[in-house]
């Protein structure tokens, strides 16, 4: 019985180890097939360690530690994401609860949502006269859609029962928004935020390749120019890990705000 329990607790760990082995195996195989043009895991590992050993060094604008690059990217992502959410949540609440607003705004969303956020980059440059502003702008555009759509959907699906309570007890508009609409829509809003941050983290890499400067995306591009594939592969692993952590963070929020 005790043995079984142990197996149960170690099972996730075993699977984790298993998937790492598969990844490393595939990677190693490809590396072999390309005659180490793609560096092997081991070759990458030493570069990776080097990068992590001094993450925050700063030798001028084109030579900064991976930590500096990550922090710059994260600041951009959270600025754009924060601004996007500030627009998306209230707008979502509005179009979810008001049919007229929905019918007016929904076509606009439908047209703009499929556009790659990078297409907004030149407009951002025009508006902000700087690559920094333009990058934050494309993250802003990216993070609006999932949050907006999920919020609106959440609000629109409030059960009649809950509306009835508000109606029967004469809730004021403010009380209805704060005690009925927002609590009901909150799990949907967080789902939207979770999707938004995920896409924003994907887009930032591409955005920074366009904008240059400091950032994980630029780091990838710069490593390509320096022909350091080890650095690129390390950066991919780091980008993936940070993305996973962001997702886990919002997953935690989602569980935290789910009502029984």
Least Å distance, CB 232 to other proteins, is 46
Q: Which residues pair with 64 in a beta bridge?
A: 58
Q: Which is nearer to other proteins, 3 or 256 (CB)?
A: 256
Least Å distance, CB 161 to other proteins, is 5
**Helix, coil or strand: residue 54:** coil
Q: In this structure, what DSSP letter does residue 178 have?
A: I
Distances from the Cα of 21 to the Cα of 27, 31, 225, 240, angstroms? 10, 15, 30, 17
Given the rule CB under 8 A, which residues bind other proteins?
A: 161-162, 164-165, 167-172, 175, 179-180, 183-184, 186, 259-260
Q: Which is nearer to other proteins, 36 or 167 (CB)?
A: 167
CA distance 46 to 48: 5
Classify residue 159 as exposed, middle or buried by CB count within 10 Å of its CB (0-12, 13-18, 19+).
exposed
Least Å distance, CB 177 to other proteins, is 13
Q: Which is nearer to other proteins, 1 or 260 (CB)?
A: 260
Least Å distance, CB 21 to other proteins, is 42
Task: Give Dmax (Cα) for the chain.
Answer: 74
Q: Which is nearer to other proteins, 118 or 163 (CB)?
A: 163
Least Å distance, CB 236 to other proteins, is 41
Q: Which is nearer to other proteins, 59 or 169 (CB)?
A: 169
CA distance 151 to 156: 9
What the block records as the tokens of 220 is 């990838």
């Amino acid at each position: 019985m005790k043995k079984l329990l142990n197996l149960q607790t170690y099972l996730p760990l075993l699977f984790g180890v298993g998937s790492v082995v598969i990844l490393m195996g595939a990677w190693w195989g490809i590396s072999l097939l390309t005659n180490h043009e793609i560096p092997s895991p081991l070759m990458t590992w030493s570069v990776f360690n080097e990068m992590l050993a001094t993450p925050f060094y700063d030798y001028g604008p084109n030579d900064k530690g991976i930590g500096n690059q990550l922090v710059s990217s994260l600041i951009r992502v959270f600025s754009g994401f924060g601004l996007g959410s500030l627009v998306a949540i209230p707008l979502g609440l509005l179009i979810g609860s008001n049919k007229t607003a929905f019918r007016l705004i929904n076509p606009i969303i439908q047209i703009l949502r499929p556009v790659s956020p990078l297409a907004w980059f030149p407009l951002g440059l025009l508006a902000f006269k700087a690559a920094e502003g333009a990058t934050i702008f494309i993250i802003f555009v990216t993070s609006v859609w999932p949050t907006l759509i999920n919020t609106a959907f959440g609000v629109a699906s409030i059960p009649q029962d809950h509306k009835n309570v508000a109606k029967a007890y004469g809730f004021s508009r403010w009380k209805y928004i704060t005690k009925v609409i927002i609590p009901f829509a909150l799990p949907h809003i967080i789902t939207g935020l979770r999707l938004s941050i995920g896409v924003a983290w994907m887009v930032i890499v591409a955005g920074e390749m366009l904008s240059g400067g400091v950032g994980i995306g630029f780091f990838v591009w710069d490593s390509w120019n320096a022909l350091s594939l080890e650095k690129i592969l390390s950066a991919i692993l780091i980008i993936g890990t940070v993305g996973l952590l962001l997702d886990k963070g919002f997953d935690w929020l989602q569980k935290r705000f789910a009502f029984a």
